[in-house]
Amino acid sequence: MLASGNKALAEQFVMFLSSYNHAMFSSYLQWFYQGLGGIRVADDAVSANHIELRPYFSPLTDEVSCSFVTRHGEIRTAWTRDERGAVTFSYAVPQGIEVSVEVPEGVEVVRL
């Protein structure tokens, strides 16, 4: 597909009918929000009214910031690792959203 000059991979339904509107690699983007940013809409949420914050603090990354817009407003998370290796996780969640935070012991948590 790429060799034929396409700038995107096609989803083949029939040989002559292809969809170029296929989110083939969207799972990677989702991992940035849910994994590194830690923003997850809880399974019991209605209209994103319950958010779980569980970031993954990759040893290969020293700084992450992430935001996710809901109908209640913007959710923001960020974390940094200082030169000693200490991690600080900060977040902002609009009113009306229930939030639970789960981070490893020793991580400083700051609600903005």
Give pTM, 2 decimals. Answer: 0.77
Distance CA 89, CA 101 (A): 10
CATH number of the domain that 35 lies in? 2.60.420.10
Digit-coded pLDDT (tens) for 9-49:
666 655 555 555 555 556 677 889 999 999 999 999 999 99
Q: How many CA atoms lie within 13 A of 37 on its CB side?
A: 19
Domains: count for the chain = 1
Q: Which of 67, 53, 52, 109 is nearest to 86 (CA)?
A: 109
Q: Is the pLDDT of residue 60 over 90?
A: yes
- Domain with 27, as residue range(s), is 2-111
Please enumerate in sequence order all residues whose Cβ is within 8 A of that of 22, keeping only pairs 6 or more positions apart, or say none: 8, 9, 10, 11
